[in-house]
Amino acid sequence: MNTPQDNQKRHEIKFIINKKEKINFINKNHLNKIFPDRIVESIYFDTKDLQFFSLSEEGVTPRFKIRLRGYNNEKPSNLEIKKTKNYHREKIILKNFQFNSFELHKTLKSMGINNIVDQKIRVKYLRSYYELKDLGRITMDENIEFFNPSKEFRNPKKINKIILEVKIQRKEIDKNHVEKIINLKESRFSKYCVGINCLRNSN
């Protein structure tokens, strides 16, 4: 297992768009892809009473997200722990994590997270990567699907939204400046929370 990476201060600003808005945005800003598209798949963990979900829905900080992430249909093997604070996020990545419940909880405990968690949802989508002048890296996520582990990750629920996300690793940012460049208002959007609500409503 590799050492933690990417434990820097991050700002993630999200905007919800549709396919027409995506095309117009790419053309208007003359965006070019900086990496090939890839399928992203995440398994999210939470407590029995969905404590992390509730904190995220209420916007309470600090809060955690715990997930295993993989790419292009390979087995998810990167353990990611995201901590949201008042004005930024921090993320730790443990690559090639050999997942089992004991190792997961031992690792979380070493980071000061004593909650007992298990799998709650699998999220899968297609991600595109772009660079926008004067702003930085942008991703666009579409074909978003949610799977229920209790149903052996079959029969996904889907949404038609596209999530445009600006990712900035900097101590401080001006969100008004970002909104002006994107020409949209920021939206609170958590794939984990949206997925939990979708699966709840489908039962």
Residue 2 lies in a domain: no
pLDDT tens digits, residue range 46-77?
A: 999 999 999 999 988 888 999 999 999 999 99
Residue 4 lies in a domain: no
Counting the structural domains of the chain, the total is 1
For residue 192, give its domain range: 9-202
DSSP label of 87: S
- Two tokens at 178? 């970002």
Q: How far apart are CA 111 and CA 163, in angstroms?
A: 30
pLDDT tens digits, residue range 29-54?
A: 999 999 999 999 999 999 999 999 99
109-113, 123-127, 134-138: which has the minimum mean pLDDT?
A: 134-138
On the CB side of 11, how many CA atoms lie within 13 Å of its CA?
16
User: pTM for the complete prediction?
Assistant: 0.89
Residue 31 lies in a domain: yes
Find the length of the chain: 203
124 φ, ψ to 5°? -135, 140
What's the CATH number where 186 sits?
Answer: 3.20.100.30
Residue 154 lies in a domain: yes
Residue 117 lies in a domain: yes
Residue 1 lies in a domain: no
Residue 194 lies in a domain: yes
pLDDT tens digits, residue range 167-190?
A: 887 767 788 888 988 888 999 899
